[in-house]
Structure 1
Amino acid sequence: MLAGCSSSSVDYDQFPGSANTDERVNGRAMTRAQEKERGTVFGDSLSLFGGEDSKKGTGSGIGVNSFLWRATLDTLSFMPLNSADPFGGVIITDWYTPGETPNERFKLTAYILGTALRSDAIKVSVFRQVNVGPNQWQDAVVEPGTVTSMEDAILTRARQLRIDSATAE
């Protein structure tokens, strides 16, 4: 019944990646350069918060421009955050009601479309609703310059972050 099971034991510690052995090349332990050259199952690296590649502005762990990502989060920080996907480059806020206009509320979705710091790499959608009764909101028109103003503010902040990172090096 257990014919498929072998009576001989296998020493799993001899296989690469085991906890009790180090990786070896030609009988010697691998250097960090060799480990980096080999890569990982996640690609060359999976670094969200640092490392050499993050200094380049593309971020090795995210699929979008890291300066645009941080600038978008900074620019939209006054609004409550609903979700943020650094791999897909989508940031969605929850509804925000400005103190000076309590009968209207806004929601934004920002799309970071690439790894380059360019004006066509950011797209913002703004949604506006007005209060028409107790807990009743109706969609309303967004002023024409609102989207452009938000995108310009994000791009300005991203450029400042890039300048600051270049002077820090």
Structure 2
Amino acid sequence: MIRRSAATLAVSAALALSLSACAGKSDRPKGDLAASKVTTIGVNSYLWRATLDTLSFMPLVQTDSNGGVIVTDWYVNPQTPTERMKVTVSILDQDLRADAVRVAALRETNRGGQWVSAPVQAATTQRLEDLILTRARDLRRSSVAG
């Protein structure tokens, strides 16, 4: 498994928070449920690991592998210090499927020293979901091939 540097992950995350997303599709092969099932935690292990990898640049507040919830603390991107994000990822299934991961985000902007709630573009959460799914598929491919 190749580890990404913290800078690469930070850039990926910054892009994820600023780029619009493509619609995700499920690429779950038919008849291959056993390889995508989880055996040791309550949710799909590839999605769980991929979520932790994708959000590794953000401080974590809560992780629950049985319930499939990861909550980050507020993260301020050094390139945009007047904006901060907080992300909650829910893994909803034991199968590696596109609809098994849900991302919710909060965004605030700093106005005169006060953090004020700001809208989050739907493309931002979709892009994060896509990054998590892509990473999960890569992890699965490397574990099946190895």
Give the shorter-chain TM-score range: 0.7 to 0.9
Using the TM superposition, give the Cα deviation of residue 57 of structure 1 relative to its aligned residue in structure 2, in angstroms: 4.4
Aligned mates of 1:127, 1:71 — CA distance in 2: 21
Match of 2:53 in 1: 74
Using the TM superposition, give the Cα deviation of residue 60 of structure 1 relative to its aligned residue in structure 2, in angstroms: 2.3
Relative to total residues, which structure has the larger helix share, 1 or 2? 2
TM-score between both structures, scaled by the size of structure 2: 0.74
Aligned mates of 1:98, 1:76 — CA distance in 2: 13
TM-score between both structures, scaled by the size of structure 1: 0.64
Aligned mates of 1:120, 1:152 — CA distance in 2: 11
Matched ranges for 1:23-102 at <5 A: 56-102=35-81
Report if the CA contact (8 A) 2:38-2:95 is conserved.
no
Structure 1 residue ranges without an equivalent (≥5): 1-54
Match of 1:138 in 2: 116
Q: Which has the higher contact order (CA 8 A, sep 6+)?
A: 2
Match of 2:139 in 1: 161
One-letter code of the match for 1:139? S
Aligned mates of 1:116, 1:58 — CA distance in 2: 5
Aligned mates of 1:75, 1:159 — CA distance in 2: 13
Root-mean-square deviation (Å): 1.3
Structure 2 residue ranges without an equivalent (≥5): 1-33
One-letter code of the match for 1:157? R
3-state SS of the aligned residue for 1:158? helix
1:112 has 2:67 as partner: no
Using the TM superposition, give the Cα deviation of residue 61 of structure 1 relative to its aligned residue in structure 2, in angstroms: 2.7
User: 80, 90, 108: which one pairs with 1:129?
Assistant: 108
Aligned mates of 1:132, 1:58 — CA distance in 2: 46
One-letter code of the match for 2:97? R
Aligned residue pairs total: 113
Using the TM superposition, give the Cα deviation of residue 58 of structure 1 relative to its aligned residue in structure 2, in angstroms: 3.1
3-state SS of the aligned residue for 1:62? coil
Can you list the C-alpha shifts for 1:84-129, whole angstroms capped at 9, x where unaligned? Answer: 0000000000000001100000000000001010011000001100
Aligned mates of 1:92, 1:163 — CA distance in 2: 27
Report if the CA contact (8 A) 2:69-2:89 is conserved.
yes
